[in-house]
């Protein structure tokens, strides 16, 4: 898999860790119940966020411990925003929030038309200072990349400049599209799957993430 050309792109990040692999295996299983599926999406989102926030700026601070003053570092500078792509992206928000509790949350409403497989936009509300924030866009699935790429376009139109996209399961087609259409955006994924099927579902994938998260179908 490492031979796929996008592994050479410094904006592409495949988050590899035994715990991520373990959680992904349970997530993919067709008999994993809704509650456990939602918990796993949250946990994997947290582990991806750990990687995606590695470059947050820090500043030196002095902290008084019970014994003496310690030289410490705290996150400084740009604030963070979390932008879930509705609806499945909602499942990742709490995982990101656990690591970045002060983040503001925007929402982008997009769904894939089941006939054309093209994304249809229906909602966009971002933090008012989106242009000054690092925006972490979250969606568990990156299939054709149409939804994520359109969401990023909508966010850029509203002035955002520093954008990261975090997905759980991805297909090479979607990775290539996002990297080509948004070369300035860092892309983090937990899994790179084989390909898309004729309905643009990811293989082997995990099925419809929104339906599995919210118990609909």
Cite the active site residues: 112, 116, 208, 211
Residue 197: strand, helix, or coil: coil
Binding ligand PRP (rule: CB under 6 A), the pick from 81, 91, 146, 205 is: 146
Return the DSSP state at 160.
-
Binding ligand URA (rule: CB under 6 A), the pick from 85, 168, 209, 213 is: 209
Distance, in Å, from the CA atom of 100 to the CA atom of 135, rounded to the nearest integer, reads: 12
To ligand PRP, the closest distance from the beta carbon of 144 in angstroms equals 3
To ligand PRP, the closest distance from the beta carbon of 75 in angstroms equals 29
Element (H, E) at 53: none
Binding ligand PRP (rule: CB under 6 A), the pick from 126, 174, 182, 192 is: 174
The strand pairing partners of 85, in sequence order, are: 108
* Encoded tokens for 16: 């590899």
168 is an interface residue for ligand PRP by CB under 6 A: no
187 is an interface residue for ligand PRP by CB under 6 A: no
Length of the chain as a residue count: 217
Distance, in Å, from the CA atom of 92 to the CA atom of 126, rounded to the nearest integer, reads: 17
Q: Pattern of binders to ligand URA over 135-174, x per CB under 6 A?
A: ------x-x-------------------------------
Signed CA dihedral, 96, 30, 211, 109: sign only? positive
Return the DSSP state at 11.
T
Binding positions for ligand PRP, rule: CB under 6 A: 85, 87-88, 111-112, 119, 139-148, 174, 200, 208-210
Binding positions for ligand URA, rule: CB under 6 A: 88, 141, 143, 201-202, 205, 208-210
């Amino acid at each position: 898999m490492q031979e796929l050309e996008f592994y050479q792109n410094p904006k592409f990040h495949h988050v590899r860790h035994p715990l991520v692999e373990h959680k992904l295996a349970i997530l993919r299983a067709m008999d994993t119940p809704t509650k456990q599926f939602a918990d796993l999406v949250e946990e994997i989102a947290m582990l991806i966020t750990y990687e995606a926030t590695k470059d947050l700026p820090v500043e030196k601070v002095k902290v008084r411990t019970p014994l003496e003053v310690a030289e410490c570092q705290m996150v400084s500078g740009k604030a963070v925003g979390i932008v879930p792509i509705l609806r499945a992206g909602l499942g990742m928000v709490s995982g990101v929030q656990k690591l970045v509790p002060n983040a503001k949350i925007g929402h982008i409403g997009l769904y894939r038309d089941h006939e054309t497989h093209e994304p249809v936009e229906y909602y966009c509300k971002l933090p008012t200072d989106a242009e000054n924030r690092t925006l972490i866009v979250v969606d568990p699935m990156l299939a054709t990349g149409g939804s994520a790429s359109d969401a990023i376009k909508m966010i850029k139109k509203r002035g955002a400049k520093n954008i990261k996209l975090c997905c759980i399961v991805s297909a090479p087609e979607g990775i290539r599209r996002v990297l080509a259409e948004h070369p300035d955006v860092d892309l983090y994924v937990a899994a790179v799957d084989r390909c898309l099927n004729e309905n643009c579902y990811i293989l082997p994938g995990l099925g419809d993430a929104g339906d599995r998260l919210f118990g609909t179908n």
